[in-house]
Amino acid sequence: MMTDAALSVLPQDGLWRVTALIRWRAVRDATTADVQMDDVLVPAIVDALKDEPRLVRLVVDRPPAVLDPAIAGMFPPLFDAMIEFWFANAVDAGAVMARIGGNDAVRAAADAVIDRAHSVVWLAQVFPIKPEQGQSRVKFLAGGDAADGWAIGDAQAYWRDVHPAVARTAPSVWTPLTRYVQFHGGPAPMEALADVFGTWRQVPMCAEMGFADEHDFISNYSNEEYRKIVRPDEEKFSRPGEALSFVSGAERVILARN
């Protein structure tokens, strides 16, 4: 269950987000890494950016304490945490991420727990198609690439302008969604290429979906309307991104500025 719904009421239109999907180092057990993140890494980030007006908000996501086996079967858990850095524009994102990457305390804290080779960081513009209304208790993120033969810009435009209308014709899929946000990724800003949280890459399309509970999540991806209506349309313009998915059971807003 999400422990903090504050993000639900915060605006997302026109913003940009740097997403870091984190995998712990193999030498650490999950409990130790969680404590290190809560007690050292996140406070180091906050201390580094507490006077940084260009950071709109900082959010930390954790997987459910117990993941339903049906969900794990569909989307095997490959990451241990997600950190979200929100900005007003891509220029601010690049500058602030470069600042974080050069902070010795943040880098030392990250060194202790993050497997950078298997953690992924990317920048994207945010399009809230179905804004959160405070009802999500499970949040699912999935990354994708443009389908073969599609330019990235064309695939993103179709996804934003056409695909939601198709999805609305499948009420058993659209209605249970408590949040549907698109993230249109571009190249990483060159000034932000410090690898403090993981490997920068371009993720052209990433969606974040919210559900009231795990049952709605499971039924959304296994029902007939999804298979017959929504999935075929998705396959027109996109293909799944390699190993990019994350199920959030706890979403905590660490910093939020007007």
Return the number of other C-beta atoms located less than 10 Å from residue 202's C-beta.
Answer: 13
- Please report which confidence band the pLDDT of residue 134 belongs to, taking 50, 70 and 90 as the band edges: confident
Q: Which residues lie below 8 Å from residue 165, measured CB to CB, with a gap of 6+?
A: none
pLDDT over 50 (residue 165): yes
Judged by average pLDDT, the poorest of 6-20, 162-176, 190-204, 219-233 is 6-20
Highest mean pLDDT among 34-43, 182-191, 226-235: 226-235
Question: How buried is residue 250: exposed, middle or buried, by Cβ count under 10 Å (0-12/13-18/19+)?
Answer: middle
**Amino acid in the structure at residue 214:** E
d(CA 100, CA 106): 7
Contact between residue 62 and residue 88 where contact means Cβ atoms under 8 Å apart: no
pLDDT at 25: 85
Q: Does residue 5 have a pLDDT over 60?
A: no
CATH number of 6-256: 3.30.70.100
Q: Residues 4, 254, 144, 140: what is their CA dihedral angle, to the nearest 10 degrees?
A: -10
Q: What is the pLDDT at residue 14?
A: 84
pLDDT above 70 (res 241): no
Give the residue with greater pLDDT, 49 vs 1: 49
Give the confidence band of 217 by pLDDT, cuts at 50, 70, 90.
Answer: confident
Return d(Cα 176, Cα 220) in angstroms, integer: 8
Residues 183-202 pLDDT 10s: 999 887 766 566 899 999 89
Q: What is the mean pLDDT of residues 109-117?
A: 92
pLDDT of residue 237: 94
- The angle subtended at Cα 63 by Cα 58 and Cα 65, nearest 5°, is 130
Residues 6+ apart with CB under 8 A from 72: none
What is the model's pTM?
0.91
Report yes or no: 241 and 47 within 8 Å, Cβ to Cβ: no
Per-domain boundaries in the chain: 6-256
Q: Identify the pLDDT of residue 43.
A: 95
| pLDDT above 80: residue 85 | yes
Given pLDDT bands bounded at 50, 70 and 90, which one contains residue 3?
Answer: very low
pLDDT band, residue 170 (cuts 50/70/90): very high
pLDDT for res 4: 46
